[in-house]
Structure 1
Amino acid sequence: MQIDKNQLLRFTTAGSVDDGKSTLIGRLLYDSKSIFEDQIEAVENSSKKKGHEGVDLAMFTDGLKDEREQGITIDVAYRYFTTPKRKFIIADTPGHIQYTRNMVTGASTANAAIILIDARHGVIEQTKRHTFIASLLQIPHIIVCINKMDLVDYSEEVYNDIVGQFEEFSSKLLIKDVRYIPISALLGDNVVNRSENMKWYQGSPLLHELETLHISSDINKVDARFPVQTVLRPQREGFIDFRGYAGRVASGIFRPKDEVTILPSGFTSTIKAVHSDEGELEEAFAPMSVAITLEDDIDISRGDMIVKTNNQPEPKQDIDAMLCWLNTDEAKPRAKYTVMHTSNEQRAMIKEVVYKIDINTYNRNTEDKSLKMNDISRVKLRTTKPLMTDDYRENRNTGSIILIDESTNETVAAGMII
């Protein structure tokens, strides 16, 4: 299969604390020669000051002062690197349970997720939590890296046992592609180069898997959705009558002469022209930012959505969603929140917690109606005005929401509409 050398792969790393995520990324960067010499020199000096014999690879990603002092990653650290075959963006997410919410942020746009497992400990609760979130966010590729194999004497039996543990619980989830690699991030086994210590492993090292993964677009190309961000009314000479609706195409394709409907009003019109900063376009598709002009003068404002007349979402005020609670404060019963959906901003109330997911068994708990940090629940929301939604499985852009606490302006939850 021919790989596009300019193709960008976004992947996230997740696992429990001290499973070696930062060390793994450091090894990837170091062995693939994706680090500048001055960076290497700075980390080598810092490593010596700490008393390390060699280079502390984790320091290539643990850039925050607090992280270096504590030896942990407490925020999502984004890193960019490139190889002759592909470009990459890495989201290194924290391992502590109280920072699980950061994994939702790091994984929301990922094409692949690397789940790290400590070979000494096997599958633990955080492994299941991170895998469930990856499944919920519909990340198409999961690469399970069983790390620290050097500490279990590179045992094939230990590796096979952990693969069996992972397959047992992941079979209950909707995951398209799972791959397993035994590695030692610290020593470099099966990260960039094949391991001489695990000749029983017949697969490829991690970097080769990342370079050859098939990246399928997660953009819905069928359902045309254009959330309006702002209305353009230029007053320069020659443009006095110009009235365009600017925004980013969420999905589908828009062309001049397409018959469209404006939601939630239901008025119809025809696209007069599609404009970009380079002039008029024959078509616009996701994720392009454009301005659309219509043949008719219709009252349209921010938060409205332009869609194809023959393919419309159903405006909803009662919304079912899978919600990841991100805030340290528990959800308040029937409290009001601001819901953000594309460019639409409405007030909303959590009407009901239908069930919570037991992360260890994946059973549904219908008795506990509380929402606490890291809880994953199915909820019913009621909004003050309709939202033009699609199911998340059909359309990531129009199927996702966030909730904001009106009193603190903090993001308290991220949701996938079902």
Structure 2
Amino acid sequence: MTLPDIVESLRSTVASGSFATHGTLPTTIAVEVDGVGPLAFPVPPEQARQLRALAAPAQFGRGEQTLLDPAVRDTWKVPLDRVRVDGGGFAAVLDTVRAELGLPAGCALRAEPHSLLVYEPGQFFRRHRDSEKADGMIGTLVLTLPTECTGGELVIEHGDRRLHTESAADAVGYVAFYADCEHEVLPVTEGYRIALTYNLIATGDTRPADPPPAPQLTAALRAYFGTPVPLPHWRRGDGPEHRAPQRLVYLLDHQYSQRGLGWDRLKGTDAASAAALRTAAGTAGLAVELALTEVVHHHRTDAFIDELGMMGRRRRWELADGEWALVDDEWESIEGDEDEEDMFGEPSDRSASDHPDANRPGAEEPEVVFTTLTWRLDAGGTGLAVSEQVHDDEIRCATPTQALQPHAYQAEGYTGNEGDTIERWYRRAAVVVRAG
């Protein structure tokens, strides 16, 4: 039995859970705002303009910074201390959200008020991820109040999956999603989009109970670790030509920080997959741990072949809360082209179209993939920084890495010895199974 059989066995074992869910509240809510009074549903334009008069431009977070930039986020935020919300259907919706996000029944969700937002025509919020604003925060809940509005759709993406939601004029809609999901609010074209946002806090028992052993998955692990495979010469050394695998690295779908990684902090299908692998590994006499990885996809490209501004130049971009920032810009003269600077000016003045959002190679398979374990968390919860190279034949996942958003992007132009290259850097969590 081969490693792909392990992936298929895991898929058939793990119950499904979504990255996002949406619907309408079963009962209405009452919203009152000091200075405006109780809001009518659908909210009439007169009240929307009153809310707008009370509001200030909404800021957004980028790393440790709080910024105001209408090119990124253009909307109005009403002071939260002016807002009161009352409704009987809230608790039932939170339990529905918990179940549809794939969280265990022993876990409860609490909605912590965050903001009341008003979008007028032309306003939007560009693609971004929500920061984890409180301990235990796993996601975001958005309630869209009934308005006569066109545009302003909320679009949520996770890997190659996408959820597109609209406001309604006759019901309070809700959308809930994990905090690491990229999302955006498209420009409003007519009317007003009015939304209440909440931080979703997980409380109680967030770690799913270990499922009963799955015979098919257990057998697949035993076959994988018990079947010798040929080794390339550079991995063989003075050892045998064939050897049974010593490690399996199953990449998870959601993103986690080092602080946020834990057996009791996994999200949705990640939690279910980890529990199934942990049970099967224990039955098969194998060790299991959580880990963080750094994955680098290296591509050769002819994207910059006609761009003098990229000759001898290396530029690195990093993603912070949905925005790309240029963090490194190096230039080296190319042997034999000493007069190049005189011809084209300083490197920083040259044209370079290497922005990560440009149409560059990325969806196809990379030429080389480098994967390194950077942090290990054993079954007891003890963490350790590591640097451990992982080979391609030890890795499998349900979602291909190139379907995810990289956290860094590096472009390098022709240097005299090498052609143009692009590298994309990804961070992924993993369940690591090791031979006992």
Range class of TM-score, shorter chain: under 0.3
Structure holding more strand per residue: 2
Q: Does 1 or 2 have the higher relative contact order (CA < 8 Å, sep 6+)?
A: 2
TM-score by length of 1: 0.24
TM-score by length of 2: 0.23
